[in-house]
Amino acid sequence: MRKPHIKLTNSPLHHFTNSLSHYLTIVKHLIHTLNKAFDNRVRLGVMAVLMANDSVSFNDLKEALDLTDGNLASHVSALEKAGYVLVSKQFVGKKPNTTYQASKEGKTAFQEHLTILEKLLRG
């Protein structure tokens, strides 16, 4: 005797499996659209500070993020190359003073990055 064929297309399990599959497809897409320039925690921190302030000095940024001179310089350089940070060098008295600002492109890119992260967190 043959076993009856059971259709699962209308079962809750089928809907759950399809929903999960759809959700995972969306998550995969969102993860691939994250901006790689902000993958690193230091760059994420730099942009977060710059988004909240008009401009920030090298020393203030270094202190806020607890970084070494070289570490901060290399990450800011990468963000500058991407066009996300503007660098201004001046002299205050006889001392050089470097300040940073988020560029218009940097603000837009960072906000898009945050929007994608929010979508991932909300599910």
Q: How many CB atoms lie within 10 A of CB 87?
A: 13
In this predicted model, what pLDDT tens digit does every residue of 7-23 receive, in sequence order?
A: 445 545 455 566 888 88
In this predicted model, what pLDDT tens digit does every residue of 43-52 receive, in sequence order?
A: 999 999 999 9
By the 8 A CB rule, do 43 and 94 touch? no
Q: Is the pTM of this model over 0.85?
A: no
**Mean pLDDT across 30-40:** 95
Domain spans in the chain, listed from the N-terminal domain onward:
12-122
Residue 64, pLDDT score: 97
Under CATH, which architecture does the 12-122 domain have?
Orthogonal Bundle (1.10)
Helix (H, G, I), strand (E, B) or coil at 31: helix
